Amino acid sequence: QKEVEQDPGPLSVPEGAIVSLNCTYSNSAFQYFMWYRQYSRKGPELLMYTYSSGNKEDGRFTAQVDKSSKYISLFIRDSQPSDSATYLCARRLLQGGSEKLVFGKGTKLTVNP
């Protein structure tokens, strides 16, 4: 089982909608998760990170971790066309004596004006 599973989408919503992007993970050893945003023809950029259960807010974005169900979510309020991108979840794993980030496959989001 892959360490991080992500809804593939694509997801298309109207401007102003609330967007929910989700990932599940399979190993409970580490509780450090990240969300990256990748615009077309660009490298991914870190959007948010969270260490533990609960919510973390940053403007219109909220990252949520549910340890009991091994579920991580990114919510976008009042979505804008500029939010159109691929969103990748990632988690920190210990592998071969060193740590690394493992990425989900990404969800492509389109926000229509």
Partner 1 sequence: EAQVTQNPRYLITVTGKKLTVTCSQNMNHEYMSWYRQDPGLGLRQIYYSMNVEVTDKGDVPEGYKVSRKEKRNFPLILESPSPNQTSLYFCASSFDPGEKLFFGSGTQLSVL
* Residue 8 near residue 24, CB atoms below 8 Å: no
CA torsion angle 12 15 18 22 (round to 10):
30
| Nearest distance from C-beta of residue 106 to partner 1, angstroms | 6
| Nearest distance from C-beta of residue 71 to partner 1, angstroms | 19
Which one of residues 32, 60, 84, 110 is an interface residue with partner 1 (CB under 8 A)? 32
* Residue 89 near residue 4, CB atoms below 8 Å: yes
- Contact between 56 and partner 1 by CB under 8 A: the answer reads no
Residues facing residue 87 across a β-bridge: 37, 107
- Contact between 49 and partner 1 by CB under 8 A: the answer reads yes
Interface with partner 1 by CB under 8 A: which residues? Answer: 6, 8, 32, 34, 41-46, 49, 88, 92-93, 96, 98-101, 103-106
